[in-house]
Every structure is written in C-alpha cells, then in structure tokens.
Structure 1
Amino acid sequence: MIKITLVAGARPNFMKIAPIIEAIKKNQILGIEIQYRLVHTGQHYDKKMSGDFFEQLNIPEPDINLEAGGGSQAEQTAAIMVAFEKELLANRPDLVIVVGDVTSTLACSITAKKLVIDVAHVEGGIRSGDMSMPEEVNRIVTDSITDHFFTTSEVANQYLKSVGVAENRVHFVGNTMIDTLLSSQDRFISPVGELFDDLESKNYFVMTMHRPANVDGEQQLKALIDAIMIGTGNFPVIFPVHPRTAKNLQKIGIKHPRLRMVEPLSYLEFNYLVKNALGVITDSGGITEEASVMNVPCITMRNNTERPETVTLGTNELIGTDPTNLKHPLEKLLKGEWKSYKGIPLWDGKSAERIVSKIIQIYS
C-alpha cells in the first residue's frame, strides 16, 4: 500500500491538488493499492473556501485542518511545523506531496524530511530570481530538500539540471492547475449582481492586484489605478479586491464610474470573467497561466516572473511596476494586435495522471 499525504495551505494549492486526488481515485478503482490523506494547514482562512469551493473543485473535505493560520510568517511557519509533525507521527506516509510556494510548502517539507519521509514538490524548479518575494525563499528551501520534482516547464527542468539535481528525480509532467482549469471550463458560471448584469463578452477588463510593490504604497496604488482607467478606454474594469488592497483603497478613497470593485469571487465565477474578458491586468502568477491557456491577453505588473513560458508561449506580457508602462500595451491590446497562445508543452489536462503514474512506479 502506497501512503501519500497531500498538503494544501492556501486557495491556489487546492486547485493544484484537486486533479491529483482525482487521479488517485481512478487508480484505486483499477485496484492499485494507493491511499491519501488531505491535510489543510489552515494557513489561509478564506470564506470562499467553504463547502461550495470544495464542491466546485470536486475535493473531499480535508482529513484534518491544522488551523495554523495567523501571525507573522515566522510564527505561522513554526505553528504549521509543530502541528504537521504530530500529524505525520500519527499517520506516517511513504511520501508527502507539497505544491506551489506558500509558507505551508516550506514548513511541511522541512517537517517531513526531519522525520526521514520523502517529499515530492509539485511545481518544483521555478524561480523568479527575486529574493524579496517570500515565495522565492520558500521555493529555494523546499527544492533544496525535495526528493522528487514534478515540473511544469522545460525552463524548470533546465534550472534543476543546472544546480545538479539528478535527472531521475526530475519528472516533467505539466501543470495541474491547468488540469483543474480544463476540467472546469464547462461549469464556469457568471457572477450574479448588478455590477455584472450588463457585461458582454470581450467588452470589459479584469484586474487583480495584491503584491506589496503595487498596493502597499498609497501613491503607487493611486497612480496604478489612474493609469489603468485612462488606458482601458470606455470599458468597465472588474476588480475583485484582495483584503490587504481594500484597506489601502479605503484610505485613498479611489472611485471611478467604470471601476467595479467587488468581493473575491469563487473559482468558477472568477474564471468565467477571465475567459470572457477583453484582457487581464494582474500581478498574480497563477492568473497568467490561466489567461494564457484561455487565450486572453494578460498584462503583468511585475519586474520578474517565475513562469516565463507564459510570456514566450502564452499571452502574458511583463511590463514592470511603473504605471506609465501601461500605455503602450493597452493601446496594442485595444487595437486587436495582441499575441495569441502558442501552446505550452504538457499543459493538456493530464498532468496529475502523469504524477500519480510516476509515484506508483517509484513506490510500488
């Protein structure tokens, strides 16, 4: 019997883990002796991650919630490690699977290795080169102790090879977040409410902003939103507001007749908006992946990206954090001159199947 512990700490983690659970279940039906425990560290409490969220992604309720949210990053890391150690001692697996680059990824990897348990990192090997990002520190530490890397791109493969990781530990499988996207597309649903009622396909923009460089400085945030509103013509701009951004927006008192600030949306609602948008303006990594695969123009307000394939093969353009940089790309987008999605290798909806197949091969 192969025993796996799957770790998730923040909302994007569950989107990456959902197809892995599905693939495990398919193998169980075929008589393969494999089982899993789903551990939610509680790193993020998200009211949108209620029963509806798990139902939308077809995820069972976690076997345990470590309830280790809150506090500084150091406090959170320590709380997750203490609680996860107890979980592993009570339910020792053959393999711990961590995904992405959040605090839980780092904390649970360290805890597992201290107990001499193998670790697999889904989305291993990606790098932004920006050490001011907590996520970059999490990636580097996690990958330094990982046993098996499940990678999303050839760029990640080459990076791991360049730092001396043996080829038999690097498994190029694709992107499980795209598995979830492709399997959910038929179920996307339009948000309900007066702010959405008049929206027509390809007749509005979607924006998201949450990184400190963009939202923590009041003047930067104001300049950014002003530039977006000037550059988006007469189109509505739908802005699901991250809680940290909401506080600063209230201080500045930003209002604009075309800017529609809304509560965070469910997975199926948000991706409905992205799929039908004229374009996306963001500082998120994951959204650049989803927008690319749905062939929606994407402008990223960051100086670097850990997902360069979304720029070279996808619909993403990296323009930095200077609001004045928005003018030219928005002009190009509105003229209909944006590049199209070229296709990213193995982003085909079957990544989780490849992951579970490889695990069975290694641990049987």
Structure 2
Amino acid sequence: MKILTVVGARPQFIKLAPVSKELRKNHDEILVDTGQHYDYEMNKIFFEQLNIPKPDYYLGVGSGNHGHQTGEMLKKIEDVLLNEKPDLLIVYGDTNSTLAGALAASKLHIKVAHIEAGLRSFDRRMPEELNRITTDHLSDLLFVPTKTGVDNLKVEGVSKGVYLTGDVMYDAVLNNLEIAENKIGVSKLFDDLGLKNHECKQYMLATIHRAENTNDKEKLTNIFEAMMESNENIVLPLHPRTEKYLKEYGLYDKVQKSNITIIKPVGYLEMLLLEKYAKKILTDSGGVQKEAYFVDVPCITLRENTEWIETLEDGYNVLVGSNKDEILKNIKEFEINKNSKTNRFGDGNASKVIAEIISRY
C-alpha cells in the first residue's frame, strides 16, 4: 500500500517516529513536512534524533495567520496528492497541518487516517479544537489513544472506523528515554546547557508557547510574575514566540535577571531528560502534560482546560490558567500520588496496533 503522511510540528515528529518504523515494514510511505515549524531546533533536530527518514516533500509554509497558513498547506498538499496518488493519507494530532492534509485528501476522495483522534477540550476558541473536530469527521480510520476519546466520538455520532489503540507518544517515551540516558546523560546535559548549579529534582521546568498566553500581556505577565515570585529554580527552554512577546511587553530583561534560567529550545531527547529530572513542570503544552505523566512528575498546566483529562483524574495534573495566586499555590503545594496512576494510555505498543489495522484495512 502507498501511504502519504503529513506532519509539520514538533509533537507530530515525535508521534511519527514509532509509527513510521512499523508502517515501513510492509508499506511504501511518502513523508510530507509542511514546514509549520521551520526553526532548526524545533524541526530538523527531531528528525535526526528520532531517526525519522528525510521528508520526500518539504513545503516550507512557515508561520502566518491560520487562514493563510492552512490555505497555503492545502494548495501544496493537494499538488503532492495529485502527483503521488496514495491509497491512504495519515495525519497526526490537531495542527493546521492536520486539518489541511485531511481536507486535501478527502476532497480528492483519498482515505484519511487520523492518529490521536477523539480528543476534546470543549473550548472552540482554541484553533486546535476546531482542527480536531473537523479532521475526525473527515476521517475513515480514527486511531484513539484513550477510552475517553472513543466516548467523545460516540457522542458526536462517529463510531465507524474507530479504534482504541493506546497512545503513540507513550511508545515514543518508552523507546527514547533509555536512549537519552545512554546517549546524553543528565550530568552532561546540564553542562551542555550551561546549567552548572543544577541538580536532579532541584529545579522546575517550564514551557510556554500557546498564543492564548503569549499574545495576552496580562496573562503572560501573571505567569512570569508567579514564577519569579516563587523563588524556585526554574529552567525555561524559550519558544521564539514567547521571547518575542516578553520583549514586546518589557518583561525579558527582568526575567533574565530572575530565578528563571532561559535556555534555547532543546531536542526531544534533551527534553525527556529535563522532564524526568524536574521537581515539577509548568506548561501550556498538551504533549508535555502527557510526558510529565509518563515520567511521574507533577504537572501544573497554564490553561483553563485540557484534552488530557486522564492526567487530571489520576491526580498528576492541575489546571491553573494564568491565575497568579493559583500558580504560586500549586508551585508550592501540588504533589502527586504515584499509586493513583492508572496507565490509561496503553501498553507502549500503539504503533504496532495501528500498523496492523492499516494492513488489514
């Protein structure tokens, strides 16, 4: 079978790695990178670290408003589909690359498979939520990581082609954490990143990138003031958008002189180690919430909602939004009980399950 896979952002590269490895045992895979994340640290390094084959097509779309970005992808993906004529198109997650791939294929009557289907935050102000819903309703095969996702789809009248497979991100963490330990090692990582005075479980890790936080001066100010007032040792791999707005709001110099240690965005293996050895994690990322859960680290989520409610139900995650008092309170008080963990994300074999279903299909 000829399969065309569309990716374009960091979380999708991570999910792609174990699935592509399984698919290529029995199928021809054409890989398309839309270029949605075009910075080297946030794109090519993931291909190198995860041994992902070089993309057959690089579309170079880059950043832009949602309509412009999605439209450019739609045009370019359609050209690729017309040229390659695949039997199946695979998309991952909830980005504009996901939506553009699903739209282009469905309009050409090419079957669509959505990996990480069924997720819902129930907040349609989030562009990701609109991308998820639309992609799910366009897809022929829906690979769902948790039972919650299956239930969400059932409520929307989607039951045909739905498969509960487990989470491919869990596959990726299991596959790569040991590699990260052996290839890099935490002591060498601290030295390489200039974290000379850092020790395991003696720092907190923060990742902030969502437009709902970065593009709102009050929210971003509240988040950073809470982190600075906590006096905790906080490591921050700084997203380019966050850096832009910290400078625009006049916060960057203050943050640089604070208890927050700014580092450049890191590769996937480095990020896994930073997560594993953190005391707590503060994030507005969906993927980092899960990775924190997988490595047993308390997660403080800087959002009002999450698509990963399993992490909340197991007591591994807490939602604080941009409320300064809540952020400070949970930095000081939030802890997890490892006995409450239910491992509802599968057994680490989701990629094999997905490949087997596609082969039968």
**TM exceeding 0.5:** yes
Query: Do the aligned residues in 1 keep the contact of 2:165 with 2:353 (CA within 8 Å)?
Result: yes
Report the equivalent of 1:344.
343
**Secondary structure of the structure 2 residue equivalent to 1:132:** coil
Report the equivalent of 1:36.
29
Query: Do the aligned residues in 2 keep the contact of 1:9 with 1:42 (CA within 8 Å)?
Result: yes
Q: Aligned letter for 2:162?
A: V
Q: Aligned letter for 1:244?
A: R
**Secondary structure of the structure 2 residue equivalent to 1:48:** helix
Q: 1:242 to 1:50 in 2, by over 3 A?
A: closer
Report the equivalent of 2:203.
204
User: Cα distance, 1:211 vs. partner?
Assistant: 2.0
The structure 2 residue matched to 1:177, chosen from 148, 157, 169, is: 169
C-alpha offsets along residues 3-51 of structure 1, whole Å, 9 cap, x if unaligned?
11111011111111111111123xx2xxx4x211111111220211565
Report the equivalent of 2:125.
132
Report the equivalent of 1:299.
300
C-alpha offsets along residues 191-250 of structure 1, whole Å, 9 cap, x if unaligned?
54463122111000001112233222334322221212333x5x4100111111112222
- Unaligned ranges ≥5, structure 1: none
Report the equivalent of 1:80.
73
Aligned length: 349
C-alpha offsets along residues 116-157 of structure 1, whole Å, 9 cap, x if unaligned?
000011011111111111111111111121111100111100
- 2:318 corresponds to 1:326: no
Q: Distance in 2 between matches of 1:51 and 1:108?
A: 20
Q: How does 1:89-128 map to 2 (within 5 A)?
A: 89-128=82-121
Query: Do the aligned residues in 1 keep the contact of 2:193 with 2:263 (CA within 8 Å)?
Result: no
Q: How does 1:1-364 map to 2 (within 5 A)?
A: 2-25=1-24, 28=25, 32=26, 34-49=27-42, 52-166=45-159, 168-188=160-180, 189=184, 190-193=189-192, 195-231=194-230, 233=231, 235-250=232-247, 251-252=250-251, 253-255=253-255, 256-313=257-314, 315-333=316-334, 337-340=335-338, 342-362=341-361
Q: Distance in 1 between matches of 2:3 and 2:314?
A: 34
Q: Aligned letter for 1:134?
A: P
C-alpha offsets along residues 279-333 of structure 1, whole Å, 9 cap, x if unaligned?
0011111100000010001000111111111111361111222111123322224
Q: Aligned letter for 2:19?
A: I
Query: Do the aligned residues in 2 keep the contact of 1:10 with 1:43 (CA within 8 Å)?
Result: yes
Q: 1:79 to 1:212 in 2, by over 3 A?
A: closer
Q: Distance in 2 between matches of 1:303 and 1:223?
A: 14
- Unaligned ranges ≥5, structure 2: none
Kindly report the root-mean-square deviation, in angstroms, between the aligned alpha carbons of the 2 structures: 1.7
Query: Do the aligned residues in 1 keep the contact of 2:222 with 2:322 (CA within 8 Å)?
Result: no
Query: Do the aligned residues in 2 keep the contact of 1:13 with 1:99 (CA within 8 Å)?
Result: yes
TM-score with structure 2 setting the length: 0.92
Q: Distance in 2 between matches of 1:331 and 1:42?
A: 39
Q: Aligned letter for 2:211?
A: P
**Secondary structure of the structure 1 residue equivalent to 2:198:** coil
Q: Distance in 2 between matches of 1:164 and 1:129?
A: 16
C-alpha offsets along residues 52-91 of structure 1, whole Å, 9 cap, x if unaligned?
4312111010111122223321111111111111111111
TM-score with structure 1 setting the length: 0.91
Query: Percent of aligned pairs with the same residue?
Result: 38
C-alpha offsets along residues 149-205 of structure 1, whole Å, 9 cap, x if unaligned?
100111100011111112x41101111112111100012232544631221110000
Q: Distance in 2 between matches of 1:81 and 1:121?
A: 17
Q: Distance in 2 between matches of 1:52 and 1:64?
A: 17
Query: Do the aligned residues in 2 keep the contact of 1:42 with 1:67 (CA within 8 Å)?
Result: yes
Q: Aligned letter for 1:222?
A: T
Q: Aligned letter for 1:212?
A: A
Q: Aligned letter for 1:339?
A: N
Q: Distance in 2 between matches of 1:272 and 1:214?
A: 25
User: Cα distance, 1:278 vs. partner?
Assistant: 0.3
Q: Distance in 1 between matches of 2:129 and 2:99?
A: 10
